[in-house]
Amino acid sequence: MGARQTIGRKLYAGFLIAIFCTVAVMVIVSDILGGLLARDALGAAGVRVVGGFLAIIVGLVVATVIARKLTLTVRSLADATSIMSQGDLTRNVQVKTSDDELGELAQAFNRMVANLRQIVVEAKAASEQVTTAALALSASAEQMNSSTGEIAGTVEQIAKGAEHQAGLVEQVTKLMREMATGINEIAARARSAAEAATEAGHTAQTGGKSAREAMAKMKEVFGIIEASAHGVRGFSEKIHQIGTIVDVITKIAQQTHLLALNAAIEAARAGDAGGAFSVVAEEVRKLANEAGASAEKIADIIKEIRAENAKVVEAMTVATREVSAGREALTFTGQALEDIVRVVLEEVKKVQEISGLTQQQTQGAETLVKTMDEIAKVAEDNAASSEEASAATTQQTASMDHMAESAQQLSTMADKLKTLVARFRVEAAAGHR
Amino acid sequence: MLEVTGLPAPLGAAPPVPAAAPRRKVLVFRAAGEWFAVALARVREVCPRAPVTRVPRAPAQVLGVMNLRGRVVTLVDLARCLDLPADGGAGAHVVLLDLGDPDLAVGLVADRIDQVVDLYPDAAAGALPPAAADGGGTPGAWGKHDPQVVEIGGRAVPLLDPVQVLAQALPGVEREQTGDSP
């Protein structure tokens, strides 16, 4: 209130001064000069006019000077304000008079500029900070993103590995199941093989018994054949003896025949006296012939008997051979059967062992299968957890992206702010337009 | 064996004596598969064949010599003498011939000496036709010997004259003309 009045008073004073000056001048000029110069009324009027002009001019000058003082301040204010409007906050207004409104205004302006500067500086600083922070945030967001990416990758690997593991475990489980089935089958077959082997052993034992019985029978037969052969040999000998005797008889018959012929020859030589003798000789010859014929018949019969005998002997030899071979075969068979029984018993034992072992193996396989199932479950859980982790990581990545976006936004805003406050200069430097 | 029956004669019965006709006795024997007959007068004896000793440089018809009770007997292969297929003297008997000389001991090797047969004139057949060699032997082989053939037991059996047959084989044999030489 006081300042306004000061300006007003100044203005009023100035105005008065101006008017005074004008009047003074006018008076001076008109009166003084007039007095000096004014010879006539026209000259006086002219002097009055000139004096008026001078007075106006002086008055204008004084007014201008006074006004200038005023307007200078206002001008500088206006300039400063204009400069400030350009954004330069480094200028202060020079205050000539600090007690009037303009001075107050200038002070106030300076204060305002200072305040603004302060604000802008702080704003700049803040925006810098914000920008830095935004950048840091962005960078750290990126880092986190990349870390999260790594984590996601690792988690994915884990998930894949877990899946792979689950698949392998499934395969192994399948194989284990198959193996268990196979072992079961082996055990069943081993059991049936043991049964079959036992049966075979029994059969072999029965066969062995039969073989022994057959052997005994064969021994009997052998004995019988031996006895027959013996008898046949005796028979043969007797036949041989008969043959010899028959040979003798035949020879005798032949010789008798010759003797009879010789007798006939001698009888013929004796002529008629030997007629009866030749008859006798003839009879003797006939007898010899008959004897010879009978002997031949006997010889034939003997031959037939011999042939038959030979057949019988051959048959018996063959039979003996066969029986011998049969005996050998039987012995062999008996031996073989005993071997079979022995081997079978061993095999039965072995098979029973195998059966027991396969039972164990079956149990072991079942345990394995159970363990495999547990492992599979664990692997599945693993895989599920990995999936969750992966999902969480994805979420985190999304959040990271979001954050990065926000950081980006923040950065953008900080930039904007920076741009905004960059319009204001706060450091004293060369003139800035 | 050749069933030769000159006359059927039951044992012990005397043979019927036919009308007084000259009868000849012949000895029937087999040599080299062929049956021959030879007059009994020409036969000294029959005997089994002993081991034969071969004589080097002897004619082919002579098989060798044999020891008969200390005497040396010359053995002749009849088949060779008659140009028949010879068997090399495989017979087991010997017909010792009487050729008129007591110092000459010749025998024919025979497979089998059958019997003494009485021959009657009506039993004698004609000469052996050149082509009818009984049981084998080349036709016409008899030609130069021209024997008589007699029927004995249904067979045609050549009747040999040993002197004639041997004359060619043993040049030293003297022909003895006797009454009953054929």
Query: CA-nearest residue of chain A to B16?
Result: A279
Map out the domains of chain A with their CATH numbers. 2-146 (no CATH), 147-419 (1.10.287.950)
Q: Is the pLDDT of residue B146 over 70?
A: no
CB-based contacts of A342: which residues, under 8 Å, 6+ apart? Answer: none
Question: Is the CB of residue B20 less than 8 Å away from at least one CB of chain A?
Answer: no
CA of B20, closest CA in chain A: separation in Å?
A: 13
Q: Tell me the CATH architecture of domain B24-169.
A: Beta Barrel (2.40)
Rounded to 5 degrees, what are φ and ψ at A68? -55, -45
The pLDDT of residue A5: 60
Structure tokens at B178: 């006797």
**How long, in residues, is chain A?**
433
CA of B130, closest CA in chain A: separation in Å?
A: 31
Residue type, A180: A
CA of A310, closest CA in chain B: separation in Å?
A: 29
Q: Is the pLDDT of residue B9 over 90?
A: no
Question: Is the CB of residue B27 less than 8 Å away from at least one CB of chain A?
Answer: yes
**Are A264 and B47 within 8 A, CB to CB?**
no
Cβ atoms of A290 and A257 closer than 8 Å = no
**Are A264 and B40 within 8 A, CB to CB?**
yes
B108 vs A contacts (CB less than 8 Å):
none
A285 vs B contacts (CB less than 8 Å):
115-116
Cβ atoms of B149 and B159 closer than 8 Å = yes
Q: Which residue from A262, A268, A286 is facing B25, i.e. has the nearest CB?
A: A268
The interface pTM score, or ipTM, of the predicted complex is 0.72
Interface test with A, best of B116, B117, B119 (most A CBs within 10 A): B116
Name beta bridge partners: B90.
Answer: none
Q: Would you list the domain boundaries of chain B?
A: 24-169
Name beta bridge partners: B158.
Answer: B149
Interface test with B, best of A259, A282, A296 (most B CBs within 10 A): A282
**Are B27 and A287 within 8 A, CB to CB?**
no
Question: Is the CB of residue B78 less than 8 Å away from at least one CB of chain A?
Answer: no
CB pairs under 8 A between A and B: 51
**Are A287 and B43 within 8 A, CB to CB?**
no
Rounded to 5 degrees, what are φ and ψ at B110? -130, 145
Cβ atoms of A407 and A141 closer than 8 Å = yes
B93 vs A contacts (CB less than 8 Å):
258
pLDDT tens, residue order, chain A (433 aa): 455 567 777 778 878 887 887 888 777 777 777 677 656 767 667 777 777 787 788 778 877 887 777 777 777 778 878 887 887 878 777 766 667 777 777 788 788 888 888 887 888 788 788 878 878 887 887 788 788 778 878 877 887 887 788 788 888 878 878 887 888 888 788 778 878 878 887 887 888 788 888 888 888 888 888 888 888 888 888 988 999 999 999 999 999 999 999 998 888 888 788 888 888 988 999 999 999 999 999 999 999 988 888 888 888 888 878 878 877 887 887 788 788 878 878 877 887 788 788 778 778 878 887 888 888 888 888 878 888 887 887 888 788 788 878 888 887 888 888 888 787 777 765 444 4
The DSSP 8-state label assigned to residue B94 in this structure reads E
The DSSP 8-state label assigned to residue B128 in this structure reads P
Cβ atoms of A76 and A83 closer than 8 Å = no
A263 vs B contacts (CB less than 8 Å):
none
Q: Which helix (H) or strand (E) holds B63?
A: strand B62-68
Query: CA-nearest residue of chain A to B4?
Result: A286
Question: Would you call B113 helix, strand, or coil by DSSP?
Answer: strand
